[in-house]
Structure 1
Amino acid sequence: MEIDSFKFGKDILWISIFQIFYAFSGLITLPVLTKNYGAELYGLWAIILATVGLFTPILTLHLGTALIRYFSNDHDKNSISQAFSNILFTIIIIMVSVLILAIYYKYSISNFIFDSSIYSNYVPITFLWAGSTAIFSYLISYLRSQEKVKEISIIQLLWSFFKILMIIFISILDFSFYSLILSQIVVDILFSILVLLYIKKEIKIIIPNFKKMKQYLKFSIPQIPTGILLWLINSIDRYFISFFLGLTETGIYSASYSLGSMISLFYAPISFVIFPVISKFWEQNDKNNVKKYLENSLNMFLFLSIPASVGLFVLSKQVLNLLTTAEFIADSSLILMICLGTIFLGIYEINFYIILLDEKTQWMPFIILSSALINIVLNFILIPYIGIIGAALSTVVSYLLLALIVTVWSWKKINNKPDFKFISKVIISSIIMGIFISMFVNESILRITLLILSGAAIYFMSIILLRTFSYKEMKTFIKILKKLITQITSIK
C-alpha cells in the first residue's frame, strides 16, 4: 500500500499543479474581463461558459468515462486503438450535426439562452467552442485511462496558459468580444492536434467499425441526462438571475462564484486521479483498498477545503475589491454559501465513483433529477425575493442532497463512513483561524498575503493541538511527502 499511496499522492500533486494554476488563472482573467468589458459582457461571458459546460459532455456522450472504466486495466493495443477510434469518430459526427443545427436555429437559440436575439451571432461560435472542448476533453480521457498523469498535467498547464495569454492579449488590445471567444477555440484545436499526435505514437487511429459501441453506450448514455442535470444545478442560476435581475447581476454573481468555486481545486485533482486507481482494485475484487482510497481522499479534501472556505469568507470583499471594481462587490455571505456548496459538490464528486464501479449508472439520472428539481424550484422562488443570495442558497441545498445520497450509497456498498470526529476537529481549527484573520483584515495585497500565511500557521497549530491525526498517520504522511519532494527536486 505504501508504494500505491506514494504514486497516488504523486499523481494528485501533478494534477494539483495544473488545478492551482487554473484556479488562479480565473483570478487573473477576472480583472481583465470585468475591467475591459464591464458587467453586462462579463455576464454574457458567464452564460456562454455555462452553455459550453453543458454541451461539452453531451457531445462526447460521456464516452470518455467508458474508456477509463473499461481500458484502465487493458494492455491490448489493438482493442484500445479500435475503441479509441470508434469513439473519436462518433464524437466528431455528433459535433458537426449539432453545429449545423446551431447555425440554422441561431435566432431561436439566442432568444432562449441569452434572452435576446441581438446576440445570435454568438450562438454558432458557442457551439463550436463546445465541440472543440469536447474533442480535447476526450483525448485527455484516453491519457487518463493510461494513467499518464504527469503528461496530462503538463498538457493542461500549457493549454490553460495559452488560453489566459489570449484573453489578456485580446482584452488589453481592445479587440472585439467575438474575437475573445474565437481565440479560446483556436487554442482548443491546436492542443487537440498536438495531443492526437502524441497518442498516435502509442496506438493507431484506424477506420471505425463501431464494435462494442453498444456496451460503451449502455454504460455512458445514462450519464448524459446526469451531466445535463448536474449542469442545471451548477449553471441554471445564471439564467434565472439574467431573467429576473438582468445580465449585470449575473456578472456580479459570476465574479463571486469564480472566487468561491476555487474550493474545487481541492477535490478536482483527487477526483481526476482516483477513478482509474480504484477501477483496478474493483476489477481485482479488492474492495478494502477501494474503501481506503475513498476514505483518505475525502479526509484530504475536507482537511484543505474547510479552512480555505473560512478564509475566503473573511477576506472575500478585500479580494474582490483588488480583482474587480466596486460594481462587483457582494455580501460575504454569498461567498460562504458558494464555498459550502462547492464542498458538498466535492463530497459527491469523490464518492459517486462507487456508482460507476457498481455499474448502476441507470440510477444516476434519478439521483441528479431530484436535486435539479429542488434547485430549479428554489431558484424560481428565492431569486425574485432575495436576489443572488437565493441562487447561492439553492445551489447549497441541491449539492447537499447529492452529497448525502452518494455518501449513504458508499456506506452501504463498502462500509465507507465519514469520520465525524476528524471533520469536527477540522471545523474547530478553521473557526479559530477565521477569528484570527478577521482581527487583522486589510485591503493591502501584502497584508492579505501575510494574513493567509499566518492563518495557515494558526490552522496547522490547532490541528496538531487537537490531535486531529494519529502519530502513525503523521509519520506516513511525512514519509510520503519526503519522497514526493525528492522526486520533484530530481526532475531535470
Structure 2
Amino acid sequence: MSSSPYRSLGKNTAIFAIGTFGSKAISFFMLPVFTRVLTQADYGKIDIITTSISLLLPLLTLNIVEAVFRFTLDKGSLEEKQAIFTSALTVGTAGFLCLLCFIPVFIHFGVSGQLLVAFLALFLIDIIHGITKVLIRAEQRLRLFAVSDIIHTAVFASTGIVLVAVLKMGVIGYLSSQIIAVTISTAVLFLFGSVGKYIAPSAFKVAQIKVMIKYSLPLVPNALAWWIMSASDRYMLAFFLGFSSTGIYAVAHKFPMLLSVLNGVFYQAWQISSIDQFNSPDRKQFYSNVFRALSTLMFLGTIAFSLALRPFVILMTGEGFQEAWRFVPFLILGTVFHSFSQFFGVGYLAAKKTGGAFRTSGIGAAANIGTNLLLIPLIGIQAASISTAMAFFIMWIARLIETRKYFSVSIDWVRLTVEISLVLASLMMVYFGLVGALIQIVCLIVFIILEGKSIGAVLKKVWIAFCERGKNKKD
C-alpha cells in the first residue's frame, strides 16, 4: 500500500499543529489572568453568552459552513466556488436578520445596552469568519489557516490583558477582545486568501442554496445535539446552582482543552484525508491504522496529563477557581470519547449521508440531559462532568455501529478495553493523593509496554511529516 495517504494526513496535521498549538497555548495561559481578575459570576456570564452563540450559529445559519467545506472540496472552477461562497454568505446574513427579531426577548431576560450590542456584533463577525475560514481550509491553504489562528489568539490575548486586566472592563472587555480578534483574523483571511474574488452577486443561485441546505440541514439537529453534550450543562448548573457554579465548571473545561487540541489538530486534517480516501480500495486498512494511532495518542496524553492534573490546575487558577480540579478527570474522559465520536462521524460527511449524524448525536444528547437532570440536584457540578463523559461514550458506540454501513474499522477490542481501563484508573487516582500518583505511574508504564511499538511508529511518522515540511519550505 502506498504511504501517500499517511504522508498527506501527517503533513496536514503538522501544519494545523503549528497554528493550533501556538494559538491554544496563548489562550490557555491567559487563564491565570482572567481567573484572578474576573469573579466566578462574571466568568459564568461570559460562558453563558459564548455558549449561546455556539448554539444559535448553526441553528440560524442552518449549519451552512459544513456545506461550504464539503462542496468546495468537490468543485474546481472559480464560478462554482463563487456560487458556494456567495450562497453561504446569503444564508448567514438571513440568519443574522432572524436573530435581530429576537432582540425584545434578549432585553426581557436582561441582555441589553452594551452587552446586547457586543452579543450581536460577535454573532455577525463569527458568521463571516466561520464561512471564510472553512473555505480557506477546503481550498487546503492550510498555512494561511494556521497563521490566522495564531493572529486571532495573539490579538485576543493582548486586547484581553488591556481591557480586562488593566482597564477592568469585565464582561464587556472580554467580549470586546473577542470581537476585535475575530475581526482582524477575518481581515487577514480576506486579504491574503484573496477571498474577495469568491464574492459575486451574479453567482447567486437559488438552486445552489437548495443543494447546500439539503446537505447541511440534517447537520443542524446534529450540531444541536453536540451543543447539548458539550455546553447545555452550563444552563442547568446556572438554573440549579447559579452563575458561580457555571464559572467554576467553565474553568474546569479549559483543562481538557490541552488534550482536545491534539484531537482538534488531527480532526481538521482527518476530514480532508478521510474524504480523499473514502473510495480507495485500501480504505479499511487506512481507517483502521489511523484510528489505532489516534486512540494510542489520546490514551497516552490522558494518562500523562493525569499525573500532574491537580497541582497544575491549582497553579493555573485564581483562588476562587481552584476547586475546578475535582471536575476535570471526567471531562478529560469525555474528551477522549469525543475524539472517537468525531473520527467515526466523518464517515457521514464523506458518504454525504448526514442524517445518521443526528441520530447518533441525539442518543448522546438524551443521555446527557437525563443524567444532568437526575444528578445535578444530588451531587452538583460533578454531575455535569459525569454526564459529558457518559454522553460521548454512548455516542461513540452508536456511531461505531451505524457507520459500518459506510466503512469498517478493525479494532482489537481486548487491547482497547485494557487500555480504556488503564486510562479510567489513572484519572480516578487523581482523588487519592500520593498512593494514587504511584498507581498512575504504574498505569503509564503498563500502557507504554503495551503500545511501545505503536507510539514509536506514530512519532516517527509525525517527525517525517515535520521534516518533509521543512525540506519543502527550503526548496
Quickly say closer, same or farther: Cα 1:466–1:311, change in 2 above 3 A: closer
Q: CA deviation at 1:119?
A: 6.6
Residue type of the partner of 1:469? K
- Residue of 229, 235, 255 corresponding to 2:231: 235
CA deviations on 1:33-60 (whole Å, 9 max, x unpaired) are 1111111101111111211221233344
List aligned pairs for 1:339-488, cutoff 5 A. 339-423=332-416, 426=419, 459=444, 465-466=449-450, 468-469=452-453, 478=460, 481-488=463-470
Other-structure match for 2:194: 200
Other-structure match for 1:86: 87
Quickly say closer, same or farther: Cα 1:261–1:201, change in 2 above 3 A: closer
Quickly say closer, same or farther: Cα 1:101–1:150, change in 2 above 3 A: same
Q: CA deviation at 1:152?
A: 0.8
Q: CA deviation at 1:240?
A: 0.9
Residue segments in structure 2 that go unaligned for 5+ positions in a row:
none
- Residue of 121, 138, 144 corresponding to 1:151: 144
Q: Does 1:15 align with 2:8?
A: no
Kept in 2, the 8 Å contact 1:347–1:403? The answer is yes
Kept in 1, the 8 Å contact 2:296–2:451? The answer is no
Other-structure match for 2:59: 58
What's the secondary structure of 1:417's corresponding residue? Answer: coil
CA deviations on 1:371-394 (whole Å, 9 max, x unpaired) are 222211211110111011111111
Residue type of the partner of 2:208? K
- Residue of 233, 241, 246 corresponding to 1:250: 246
CA deviations on 1:194-230 (whole Å, 9 max, x unpaired) are 3123343684421123332111111101111211221
What's the secondary structure of 1:380's corresponding residue? Answer: helix
CA deviations on 1:290-335 (whole Å, 9 max, x unpaired) are x344323322322222233234434232112211123222375521
Other-structure match for 1:6: 7
Quickly say closer, same or farther: Cα 1:409–1:431, change in 2 above 3 A: closer
Other-structure match for 1:32: 33
Q: Does 1:286 align with 2:266?
A: no
What's the secondary structure of 2:206's corresponding residue? Answer: coil
Q: Report the identity percentage.
A: 18
Kept in 2, the 8 Å contact 1:102–1:124? The answer is no
Kept in 2, the 8 Å contact 1:140–1:152? The answer is yes
* Structure-1 separation of matches of 2:391 and 2:61: 25
Tell me the TM-score normalised to structure 1 length: 0.85
Residue segments in structure 1 that go unaligned for 5+ positions in a row:
112-116, 442-447
Quickly say closer, same or farther: Cα 1:182–1:432, change in 2 above 3 A: closer
What's the secondary structure of 2:38's corresponding residue? Answer: helix
CA RMSD of aligned residues (A): 3.2
Q: CA deviation at 1:426?
A: 4.9
What's the secondary structure of 1:330's corresponding residue? Answer: helix
Q: CA deviation at 1:238?
A: 0.8
Quickly say closer, same or farther: Cα 1:347–1:101, change in 2 above 3 A: same
* Structure-2 separation of matches of 1:349 and 1:388: 26
* Structure-1 separation of matches of 2:384 and 2:431: 26
List aligned pairs for 1:324-335, cutoff 5 A. 324-330=317-323, 332-335=325-328
* Structure-2 separation of matches of 1:438 and 1:335: 11
Quickly say closer, same or farther: Cα 1:37–1:288, change in 2 above 3 A: same
* Structure-1 separation of matches of 2:332 and 2:189: 34
Residue type of the partner of 1:42? Y
Other-structure match for 1:114: none
Other-structure match for 1:105: 105
Other-structure match for 2:288: 295
* Structure-2 separation of matches of 1:467 and 1:369: 34
What's the secondary structure of 1:371's corresponding residue? Answer: helix
Q: Does 1:128 align with 2:121?
A: yes
Other-structure match for 1:445: none
Q: CA deviation at 1:287?
A: 5.2
CA deviations on 1:71-111 (whole Å, 9 max, x unpaired) are 3132212111122112122212322331x224333223xx3
Quickly say closer, same or farther: Cα 1:490–1:414, change in 2 above 3 A: closer
* Structure-2 separation of matches of 1:47 and 1:434: 28
What's the secondary structure of 1:418's corresponding residue? Answer: coil
The range that moved more, 86-95 or 223-232, is: 86-95
Q: Does 1:170 align with 2:166?
A: no
Kept in 2, the 8 Å contact 1:143–1:149? The answer is yes
Q: CA deviation at 1:121?
A: 4.8
The range that moved more, 425-434 or 35-44, is: 425-434
Kept in 2, the 8 Å contact 1:422–1:468? The answer is no
* Structure-2 separation of matches of 1:427 and 1:150: 35
Tell me the TM-score normalised to structure 2 length: 0.88
The count of aligned residue pairs is 467
Quickly say closer, same or farther: Cα 1:400–1:127, change in 2 above 3 A: farther
Residue type of the partner of 1:262? L
Other-structure match for 1:444: none
